[in-house]
Amino acid sequence: MKKRTLILVLLPVITLLTLVRLFAHDDETPAAKPSASGSNIWNAAQEPTNWWNEIKQTHGRVGPWNVLGWRMGKAALRELNATWGQHELDVICYIPLKTPYSCIADGLVVGTGNSIGRLDIRLGEVMTMADIHVSVRRKDGSGPVLLLKPKVEYLEKIRSQPDEQLDALAHECGQLPEEKLFAIEKLPQSNKGLKNH
């Protein structure tokens, strides 16, 4: 009888502790340190070796808009010395909130390993195609803010293309020199010394 009572008492405690650990996020896990964001056991993602297939799996199809986002994401990692999937970056994708522009966001997810659900990729709305840009900074506040601005000429080229052209345009976007696709501007962080309220 005592064993049964002990089991009945311990079972809810064990269940509760298991659930707490199961649903813990990086910043809620005692073992996670700020410098090791994204490195807990619940984030074991690996950078894809086949980016084309990963975009297809994430987005449903591969087109020039999501390949452009992937290229910008890779450039942001390189320029800010960040690691894929470690959630070291804050990324805001400023686009008209409709397709095909929104496809850029899925490319950014594949390119950086960041995620919309973890709020390290967010969408901001702009009203014109000419205002599209991606703003990126390191979460730790080090380094510049990057402004990645697609070339308007390139956006005009890929806008409103028939479906049968999308595959060829996506391959082309994967191969074109970066400077033909977008410009990168490095800006000083403007929030140094500001306190969170």
User: Are 80 and 166 in a shared domain?
Assistant: yes
For 146, the 3-state DSSP assignment is: strand
Q: How many domains does the chain have?
A: 2
- Residue 45 domain-assigned? no
- Give the domain CATH number at 92: 3.30.1330.130
Query: In the prediction, which pLDDT does 50 show?
Result: 87
Residue 120 shares a structural domain with residue 165: yes
Asked whether residue 194 is domain-assigned, the answer is no
b/e for 143-181, b at 16 or more Cβ within 10 A? bbbbbbbbeeebbeebeeeeeeebeebbebbbeeeeeeb
Q: Say whether both 12 and 67 belong to one domain.
A: no
Tens digits of residue pLDDT in 24-61: 444 433 333 444 444 544 456 778 888 888 888 888 89
State the pLDDT at residue 9: 57
Range of the domain at 98: 51-187
Identify whether residues 56 and 81 lie together within a single domain.
yes
In this prediction the pTM is 0.75
